[in-house]
Structure 1
């Protein structure tokens, strides 16, 4: 009897795993719900963060402040709401022989097929990787408005494969465009209504991918960079990243930076894809001039766009997060 119970149990477990896959494609592997491990409930996540804080913070007062800030930014009520209303999975997929990590988020219930947004993260390597906290803060609110969101961590992120290297806008752009192949395999996703948006370095990825992709209907950037060479005048420290990430940087600096700078090839952009640019005027990481200069070039070339500047706000638009989200949602609802 125990033998049969075990077989039935394994069968149910196998069925449950298959049923929970958000992408029905055999090329996608290791699909796991985002709401696992310490993220099964808010208390577990908070306890995990408290242990992490304790390793760095010795003062009881400062520890309580950190936990209060954590609760303010996330909170049990918000966590429970998203867990009830959204499906979220991480997965692996292969690009150019590299195993790349990705994620997909979508509403659990919808009327008809939903438009899809490919999200391009900022940072480089593991820095800026999309962990659960950034999903909840940046992506869950957008998905909850009726969008399927799919994104790449880029090759070399959260892996031990030394040959998979984030080239900061080089071959890693293939990791973005490859996601288009999986959209038809997401139940409830409308592969004819695909948009793309990115934050910081993700803005660069968005425009580089847009040159290759043929079926992206609208794009947006948040604090995106448009001229990497000129950007070094605003933030010289970025050269350290470029030297580490970009192949042949020392011998082909100008050439490689211009390849990654949409301002140098605006005329290569599809003229019928509308572009939304969001930027804080007090951005210390990526100067607001990147978006201002790009908007001027888009106007010159008659490419439909909208520039929204947030006075005195920072790189993450922390003072205007809800307003920025409404701009994004409105933009993609209008054009997808």
Structure 2
């Protein structure tokens, strides 16, 4: 009898992890619930993290401190609230014949169609991929305010060939492709679409905007706007550029200029408002990137708003809630 009970239990567990589709499009494959596996409930997630910390840290006091930090960052009450209020799916789609991973997050209950935000992540390859621990503090709070969020992990991420990511090359197609799925997202309004990105995602946002129609407003958080100049501020990026960008050694200046919106501000649509957020103490991307872009937007009569957070860092750690309020207010105004 116990054997049969075990089989039934496993079947129920398997069924519970299957997600109803949020995107009704035959091009979208393998939709899975974000709130599954160890993320089915807060305690199972916390237990796994504690087990990992116990293996890494020397003392019980250090483990206790690490778990206190975990609870301060996430929290059971927040987790349960988001699980009750939001639907979240990961999925697979194809661009240029390549399998690409994506995700979609939306409020469960709404009496009307909701505006959509395409989010562009930072990093490169698997570094910076959007995982559940990244979604919860960064994307869930915005989706919870009445937005559908859809994003790409970019080609090569979660695969064996991370060099497929060209850091602003053909991977921009992975962002553009998302737009075609929006009409098929349950409860999404395809007439109200915005886009925003953090760090490298700011660059992706400007590159995609120049190739897309129907984007009503955008935002860039700590984005690089002049990659060649930025190398003087952070020479480490030479290693990333040379590895990810095709023909970099032969055409360094040209390839970086292609990815630098400051070099082609006049090509941006003049009727798409732009929000720029940046920490004044950003050690990864100089705040001058946003300051100089704001000046160029003024010269080209492109509507924009620049917000600089004094003493804050690349992730806007000290002002995360304020930054979320800026984003929410911006897109509510223009979408």
Please give the secondary structure, in 1, of the residue aligned with 2:210.
Answer: helix
Aligned counterpart, 2:259: 260
Deviations 1:116-148 (A, max 9, x none): 000000011100000001100100000000000
Give the alignment of 1:129-140 within 5 angstroms.
129-140=129-140
Q: How does 1:1-336 map to 2 (within 5 A)?
A: 17=18, 20-160=20-160, 162=161, 165-336=164-335
> Could you list the per-position Cα deviations for residues 10-69 of structure 1 after superposition, in whole angstroms to 9, with x for gaps in the alignment?
9xx989957x11100111111000000000000001111112222322222211111100
Q: Deviations over 1:222-275 (max 9, x none)?
A: 101100000001101111000111001001000000000000000110000000
Alpha carbons 2:163, 2:244 under 8 Å: kept: no
Structure 2 match to 1:3: none
Query: 2 CA distance for matches of 1:170 and 1:251?
Result: 16
Q: Which runs of 5+ in 1 are unaligned?
A: 1-5
TM-fit CA distance, 1:181 = 0.8
**CA–CA distance in structure 2, aligned partners of residues 72 and 120 of structure 1:** 26
Within 1, Cα distance between the matches of 2:68 and 2:330?
34
Q: Distance in 1 between matches of 2:52 and 2:250?
A: 42
Q: Which runs of 4+ in 1 moved over 6 A?
A: 13-16
CA RMSD in angstroms comes to 1.6
Relative to the length of structure 2, the TM-score reads 0.94
Task: Note the alpha carbon deviations across 1:270-308, whole angstroms, 9 max, x for none.
Answer: 000000000000000001000000000000000000000
Any conservation in 2 of the 1:229–1:254 contact (CA below 8 Å)?
yes
- Segments of 5+ residues of structure 2 without an aligned counterpart are 1-6
For 1:308, what is the secondary structure of its paired residue?
A: strand
Contact 1:98 1:164 in 2 (8 A): no
Tell me, what secondary structure is at the counterpart of 1:55?
helix
Q: Partner of 2:118: helix, strand, or coil?
A: strand
Paired with 1:129 and 1:76, the residues of 2 have a C-alpha distance of 23
Residues 88 and 104, structure 2, Cα contact 8 Å, conserved in 1: yes
Q: Which moved more, 1:90-99 or 1:44-53?
A: 44-53
Q: State the secondary structure of the residue aligned to 1:168.
A: coil
- Supply the distance in 1 between the matched residues of 2:60 and 2:162 (Cα, whole angstroms): 43
How does the TM-score come out when normalised to structure 1?
0.94
- CA change 1:330–1:163 in 2 (3 A) is closer
Structure 2: distance between partners of 1:207 and 1:58: 46
Does the residue aligned with 2:100 lie in a helix, a strand or coil? strand
Q: What is the rounded CA distance, in whole Å, between the counterparts of 1:324 and 1:276 in structure 2?
A: 11
CA deviations 1:187-233 (Å, max 9, x no partner) are 10000100000000000000000000111000001101100000001
8 Å CA contact 1:286–1:315 kept in 2: the answer is yes
Question: What is residue 4 of structure 2 aligned with on the other side?
Answer: none
Distance 1:54 1:246 in 2: 39
Closer/same/farther in 2, CA of residues 248 and 25 from structure 1, 3 Å limit: same
- 1:163 deviates by 7.9
